[in-house]
Amino acid sequence: MSTTRILVVDDEESVRDLLRDALVETGWVVDTAGTGAEALQLIRDNLYDAAVLDFALPDTNGVMLHRDIRQMDPELAQRTLFISGVAQSDQRLDYFGADGLGFLSKPFNVLEVVTRLQKIVDA
């Protein structure tokens, strides 16, 4: 059994379920959260190899959540893939580019998410 552990944070249950199922099929252990607060609690309680963060969450946004993660677990912050259906402003894209973070727009190809996470985990 794999010890690779992934955190998926998205406010849409269908997206969380889709990603969880695909990543579990890859052999990884996957935890999911629907809010930034839930994600931060999971990070306090567990060690993750990578995270997938939605940009728009009901209690925060992806940039703010990522900044919180950076304070709690700097290594995890560097192993983050953002997904979002929200049109990205130049400021958001600058943030992703400056930190070297990955970004995929919704709707996304699940295989692309798996491929990107595999690269992050293997790095």
* Contact partners, residue 121, CB within 8 Å, separation at least 6: 4, 49, 50, 79
pLDDT of residue 63: 83
pLDDT of residue 95: 55
pLDDT of residue 107: 84
CB 39 within 8 A of CB 58: no
pLDDT of residue 61: 85
CA–centroid distance for 83 within its chain:
7
Q: Please name the fold of domain 5-122.
A: Rossmann fold (3.40.50)
Instruction: Break the chain into its structural domains and give their ranges.
Output: 5-122
pTM of the shown model: 0.89
Block means of pLDDT (10 residues each) for the chain, length 123 residues?
Answer: 88 96 96 98 97 91 90 94 69 53 80 92 88
Backbone angles phi, psi at 80, to 5 degrees: -120, 135
pLDDT of residue 106: 80
